[in-house]
Amino acid sequence: MAASASLLDDEHAAKVVGLWELLQRELGLEAVFISPAPHFSYQTSRDFDLAMLERVVSDVAATARPLRIRTAGLGVFAGDRPTLYLPIVRTPELTKLHLALWSAGAMATEVPLPEYHPASWIPHVTLAQGDLTPELLPAAVRLLNETDLAWETEVDNLAIVRGRGDRPQEVSGRFRLGGGSARNF
C-alpha cells in the first residue's frame, strides 16, 4: 500500500498527535499510530510502481505552489470499522493539486482506491481508524466535541507514504511544492 500525500506542518502535526494521544488515553484507540505522521492523502493504491510514483509526485511537486488549507469540525466514514477524521475544506486550489496527482498517478498504478477518485475524494486527516467501533464512536465524538478543530495552515510538500498490513507506515519521499528538483527536505 502506498499513497501520495501531504504532511502537516509541525504545529498542526503536534495538534493531531495530541488528539491521537487523547483518544488513546481516554478510549484505548491506538491503531492510528501506524501512521508515520499526520497527513492527508490524494491517491492510494495497493499496487503502485514505487519508482514511477516517486517520479510522478516529484514532477507534480516541482510545478505546484504551496497552498493554504482549512479544517472544519469532525467527519465520519461509517461502517463496521468507522473512521473519525478532521475534514479539510476542498478549495479550487486543493482540487487542482489533487487532479494533477490523480491524473499523473494513474501511470503508476492499475488499481487506485476508488475513494480517492476526483468525484468522491474527501480530503481529511485521520483521527481514529482500525480499532474504532460503532460503540466507541459516540464517546470519541463527545471527547473531541469541545476541541477547536477550525485550523488554517500552509501545505508546502508532497510525500509518499508506504505501509504493509499492520506494520508502521513510513514516509519514503518528501518533495517541496514549487521546489523544482528539491527532494527529501
Where does the pLDDT of residue 34 fall: very low under 50, low under 70, confident under 90, or very high at 90 and above? confident
Are the C-beta atoms of residues 6 and 158 closer than 8 Å to each other?
yes
pTM exceeds cut of 0.85: yes
Instruction: Tell me the per-residue pLDDT of 40-81, one tens digit each, with 9 for 90 and over.
Output: 999 888 887 888 889 999 999 999 999 999 999 999 999 999
Where is 162: in which H helix or E strand? Answer: strand 157-162
- Cα-Cα-Cα-Cα torsion 16, 119, 81, 17, nearest 10 degrees, comes to -10
Are the C-beta atoms of residues 125 and 38 closer than 8 Å to each other?
yes
* Assigned superfamily of 2-176: Cyclic phosphodiesterase (3.90.1140.10)
Where does the pLDDT of residue 39 fall: very low under 50, low under 70, confident under 90, or very high at 90 and above? very high
Q: Measure the CA–CA gap between 37 and 5, rounded to whole angstroms.
A: 11
What's the mean pLDDT in 132-154? 96
Cα 59 to Cα 35, 52, 103, 179: the distances in Å are: 25, 11, 12, 10
Where does the pLDDT of residue 183 fall: very low under 50, low under 70, confident under 90, or very high at 90 and above? low
Instruction: Tell me the per-residue pLDDT of 72-117, one tens digit each, with 9 for 90 and over.
Output: 999 999 999 999 999 999 999 999 999 999 988 887 887 778 888 8
pLDDT recorded at residue 113: 82
DSSP assigned state of 88: B
Where is 62: in which H helix or E strand? Answer: helix 50-63
**Residue 36 burial (10 A CB sphere; 0-12, 13-18, 19+):** middle
Bigger pLDDT: 167 vs 35: 35
Instruction: Tell me the per-residue pLDDT of 9-21, one tens digit each, with 9 for 90 and over.
Output: 999 999 999 999 9
pLDDT recorded at residue 165: 61
Strand partners, 67: 155
Q: Which of 31, 44, 34, 32 is nearest to 5 (CA)?
A: 44
User: How does the average pLDDT of the chain come out, rounded?
Assistant: 90
